Structure 1
Amino acid sequence: MVKVGDKAPLFEGIADNGEKISLSDYIGKHNIVLYFYPKDDTPGCTREACAFRDNWDLLKDYDVVVIGVSSDDINSHKRFKEKYKLPFILVSDPDKKIRELYGAKGFILPARITFVIDKKGIIRHIYNSQMNPANHVNEALKALKQIKEEEIS
């Protein structure tokens, strides 16, 4: 698995709107919260996604792009995003190649891991917790606050 301090592996994927996105589109412009989750519209994944949604105003203060990744297809992502009014990007990773790049595989279930990446493309924080999905946004916010403080000083 990648570690804090590593350069974030670049990837391309298909977003919930059907368009191709690339992580390199955001590096140099925004901080990035990249989170991997097991499956759309399941209890833990819904709690996690809604926690990011419910903290959206706080996240926006940190010039951040949030990208959720699972192996669900585009139609599933579209329904999940519409149902819960998610204001961020969901990327389909059906062959689990993006997961493999980050070492976010998991054992029985696909891992629930959040990576905070700064504007230079460096991984600044990793939070791995299958059992506490709603805490992923809190961990991301702590890391983003630290990045912002470093930019100011």
Structure 2
Amino acid sequence: MAAGPSLGTPAPDFTLPGGVLSGDAFDRADYTLSAARGRALVLAFYPGDNTTVCTKQLCSYSSGMETFEGLDAEVWGISPQGVDSHESFARTYGLRMPLLADEGREIARAYGVAAPGIGVRRAVFLIGPDGVLRWKHVALLGATFQSLSTLADQLSGIKKA
């Protein structure tokens, strides 16, 4: 497994297809990392839609969207499933963040979180408004996830820096 980007370096840019639940609509679009500059960004890589830990993680982040918005941050979920799967997942659980499809796992490889067998390691990358990687956590087993409060604390530190 590649190490991925180092703290203090520009986060690897990418464009991925995805969508976000907006009321009754699932708005599909391409998401480009460099276009999100100006706000902090939480990239949450997760192994799969509709799996137990991933569902708990993304529901936790979705229910805490006001916390992220209060810290001027966006959250993007990234996994190897396609946009159709993401739409079903978002509708089933009312997820309010964009879910991006990294079907070929190119972005997971660029971030050092592609893993044989499971596809993608559970990982979180916090990117500053300037596009620089400020904090990351890559799980070895992925049975747990970084809490909303941990991410909020880390984002608060980015805003003060």
TM-score (norm 2): 0.86
Query: What are the ranges of 5 or more consecutive residues in structure 1 without an aligned counterpart?
Result: none
Structure 2: where are the runs of 5+ without partners? 20-26
Structure 1 residue 79 displacement after superposition? 0.8
User: 2:7 and 2:29 mapped to 1: Cα distance?
Assistant: 29
Cα deviation, residue 137, structure 1: 3.0
- Partner secondary structure for residue 19 of structure 1: strand
Where 2:115 maps in the other structure, the secondary structure is coil
The alpha-carbon deviation at position 105 of structure 1 amounts to: 1.3
Percent of aligned pairs with the same residue?
A: 26
How high is the TM-score relative to the length of structure 1?
Answer: 0.91
Between the aligned partners of 2:54 and 2:150, the Cα distance in structure 1 is: 16
Which structure 2 residues correspond to residues 24-43 of structure 1 after superposition, within 5 A? Answer: 24-27=34-37, 29-43=38-52
Q: Which amino acid aligns with 1:18?
A: R
**Number of aligned pairs?**
148
Name the counterpart of 2:128. 118
Select the structure that is richer in helix.
1
Q: Which residue pairs with 1:20 in the alignment? A: 30
* 1:131 aligns to 2:143 (yes or no): yes
Write the distance in 2 (CA, Å) between the matches of 1:124 and 1:137.
17
Which has more strand, going by share of residues?
2
1:90 to 90, 99, 103: 99
Contact conserved, 1:114 with 1:136, CA < 8 A, in 2? no
